[in-house]
Copies of this chain bind each other. A is one copy, B any other.
Amino acid sequence: MNDKPDPPTRRHATLKDVAEACGLSVATVSRYLNRSIKLPPATIGRIDAAIAALNYQPNQHARSLSLGRSETIGLVVPDISNPYFAHLAASVEQAASEFGLGLVLCPTLSRTDREIDYLGRLARRHVDGLLFATNNGDDPALGRALQGTSTVVLVDDDIIGARAPTIMADSDQGGFLAARHLIEMGHRRLGYVGGPAGLSSSRGRLGGFRRAVAASERPVTIAAEIQGPYSSEHGRLAAGQILALDPVPSAVFAASDEIVLGLLSVFKQRGVRVGIDISVVAFDDVGPLQLFDPPLTAIRQPVERLGRRAVEMVLDLIKGEMREPVSEVLPVELIIRESVKPPRS
């Protein structure tokens, strides 16, 4: 009888332990685990028993080192506490886990240096691919850093100078639907509060907005086009400018949830009643906009589909199945609630 206890310091069973326990070589066990081999049922039973008995867990680092890949992707986002990116992260995670991919989150605080750092992480093979959402798409340094990469897909916005596949919502159509809705409801003097002038998502929303105004049979004017960061602070500032206009526009479009939050907080504090004194259309529609005062009409981004499709695209890239970078655009939707009413007077 062999009563020698296992050395108590051994923390984790290795493949070697499993192989010894069932009288096989590590090669065979490894092949079995990677399904690249057929074994008699009896052997399978022995291996499974040994794995269970030793509570064997493969060491991912060893595996990744040997394989040269990690079966993990990264999601680069400006700020995970922003509901839009939080929802994007949730949908990406869901899709990634269905494909057996791990996900690591890479929040950048919108700092280009951190964004470039994460590209380095890709180079270091920490991850096999990157889903890249940024608000710095107009920074040439970022575009340059993207040049050398091959498994990056751009999500939600473009980066100038980057030749990478992209997946985004139809910003142009979103801007168009927003303006058309406002015009149909009788508004003739509109305010536009958008994102950064250099961003393609922002340009798209403004372009669509103008397009609907130009297409209107009635004379419609855009009383203000205020661009800035996709932030509530920018929304607050813009609200002040909008309210200082004479006359004040009867309706405003805010190009993101964050912006509309800022807008609303100033309106509220100044006693400007949404839907009565001023109509509002928002963009994104990931927050609880239906619970606001009044429930907010908004252009909804297809966040779920965006995340899933991004994962599929990066997988194609990793597998080398995408020859030329493709660019996909997903439709948006106008959700009518109660923040747009015909103008007074």
- Rounded to whole Å, the gap between the CB of A190 and the closest CB of chain B is 22
Whether A125 touches B79, Cβ cut-off 8 Å, given contacts A93-B107, A265-B290, is no
Q: Number of A residues whose C-beta is below 8 Å from B?
A: 44
Q: Is A261 an interface residue (CB 8 A)?
A: yes
Contact B65 A93 (CB under 8 A): no
Contact A59 B104 (CB under 8 A): no
Question: How many monomers of this protein are in the complex?
Answer: 2
8 Å CB interface, A87-116 against B: 87, 89-90, 93, 102-105, 107
Closest residue on chain B to residue A107 by CB atoms:
B93
Contact B80 A86 (CB under 8 A): yes
- Rounded to whole Å, the gap between the CB of A294 and the closest CB of chain B is 7
Complex contacts, A294 vs chain B, CB 8 Å: 293
Bound: A295/B268 CA distance, A: 10
Contact A86 B93 (CB under 8 A): no
Q: Is A70 an interface residue (CB 8 A)?
A: yes
Contact A126 B81 (CB under 8 A): no
Bound: A87/B86 CA distance, A: 9
Bound: A39/B324 CA distance, A: 47
- Name the one of B55, B65, B124 contacting A58, with C-beta atoms under 8 angstroms: B124
Bound: A58/B121 CA distance, A: 9
- Rounded to whole Å, the gap between the CB of A278 and the closest CB of chain B is 15
Q: Is A61 an interface residue (CB 8 A)?
A: yes
Bound: A108/B290 CA distance, A: 27
- Name the one of B12, B80, B124, B261 contacting A288, with C-beta atoms under 8 angstroms: B261
Complex contacts, A90 vs chain B, CB 8 Å: 79-81, 107
Bound: A268/B57 CA distance, A: 51
Contact A124 B83 (CB under 8 A): no
- Rounded to whole Å, the gap between the CB of A19 and the closest CB of chain B is 18
Bound: A201/B125 CA distance, A: 40
Contact A293 B292 (CB under 8 A): yes
Contact A287 B287 (CB under 8 A): yes
Bound: A292/B62 CA distance, A: 51
Contact A60 B265 (CB under 8 A): no
Closest residue on chain B to residue A265 by CB atoms:
B291
Closest residue on chain B to residue A258 by CB atoms:
B288
Q: Is A64 an interface residue (CB 8 A)?
A: yes
Q: Is A123 an interface residue (CB 8 A)?
A: yes
- Name the one of B80, B86, B93, B120 contacting A57, with C-beta atoms under 8 angstroms: B120
Bound: A61/B67 CA distance, A: 10
Closest residue on chain B to residue A293 by CB atoms:
B293
Contact A124 B60 (CB under 8 A): yes
Bound: A87/B268 CA distance, A: 25
Complex contacts, A103 vs chain B, CB 8 Å: 104-105
Bound: A293/B275 CA distance, A: 14
Q: List 11 A-B contacts (CB under 8 A).
A: A12-B123, A57-B120, A60-B121, A60-B125, A61-B125, A80-B80, A80-B86, A80-B90, A80-B93, A104-B104, A288-B288
- Apart from the given pairs A12-B123, A57-B124, 14 other A-B contacts in the complex at a CB distance below 8 Å: A59-B124, A61-B125, A80-B89, A82-B86, A83-B86, A86-B86, A86-B89, A89-B105, A90-B107, A93-B107, A265-B290, A265-B291, A268-B291, A291-B293
Minimum-distance CB pairs A-B, first 10:
A293-B293, A86-B86, A81-B90, A61-B64, A57-B124, A61-B65, A105-B105, A81-B87, A104-B104, A61-B61
